[in-house]
Amino acid sequence: MALHIHEACILLLVIPGLVTSAAITHEDYPADEGDQTSSNDNLIFDDYRGKGCVDDSGFVYKLGERFFPGHSNCPCVCALDGPVCDQPECPKIHPKCTKVEHNGCCPECKEVKNFCEYHGKNYKILEEFKPSPCEWCRCEPSNEVHCVVADCAVPECVNPVYEPEQCCPVCKNGPNCFAGTTIIPAGIEVKVDECNICHCHNGDWWKPAQCSKRECQGKQIV
C-alpha cells in the first residue's frame, strides 16, 4: 500500500510540469510595450551627416554637389559640415516698391507705384501741377515731387492787392507812395493841401513823398 502512495506522489509532481510547459506560450502572453520598443530601436535610419546634404524637399545631394536648399535660398555646396551657401550683395529694394518677391537668392521688386503723392493727392509721372499760386511742381520718375516757389519782386506801390490764382501782389492803380496819410501817384507832382506839393521818389516807392511848401492860397486873417 505504501508503494502505491509513493508512485501516486511522483505522478502528481510530473503532471504539473507537463501542463505548465504546454499551456504557457508567447501567443497567450504577448510581449510588453517595453519589449516592443526595444525591438524598434534596432531599426536603422539613414544618417547623411558627413555623407551628403538634404534640401527642404527631402532630396539628398552628394558632397561637393551644388544645390538650392529651398526656393528662396541662395545656391549652396554640400560640405562635410553642412551646406556652404553663397552670400551675394543683393541690390537695394526701391523704397517705393509695393510688391517684393523672394523666389530667388535675392529679393526682387516686381512693382513700383507709378505715381507721386503730395499733400494727400496723387499725380502721374512727369505731371506738372500747382498746389498753390506760388508753387510749381512736377512728379518725377523717381516718384518724388520737386517744387519751385515763386520769388516775388517788391511791389511799386504802398497798397498792393492779391488777385485770385495769382502768386505775387499787384499794384492795380500803378506805382504810388505816401504823402503823409495820403496816397499819391508816382511820376507827377500832387498838391496835397493849400501849402504843400509832393512827389514820389523815383524808383523808391516805399519812401515817403518829398514835399515842398508853396505860397498858401488861404485867406489872410486881419
Pair 158, 183: CB distance under 8 Å: yes
- Please report which helix (H) or strand (E) contains residue 61, including its range: strand 60-62
In tens digits, what is the pLDDT along the chain, a chain of 222 residues? 444 444 444 433 344 444 444 444 444 444 444 444 433 444 343 555 667 888 888 888 888 888 888 776 788 899 888 888 888 888 888 777 888 888 778 888 888 778 888 999 999 999 999 988 889 999 998 888 999 988 888 888 999 998 888 889 999 888 999 998 899 999 888 988 888 899 998 767 778 898 988 777 654 443
Please, where are the H alpha helices in the chain?
Answer: 2-23, 33-40
d(CA 113, CA 102): 19
What global pTM score does this model have?
Answer: 0.37
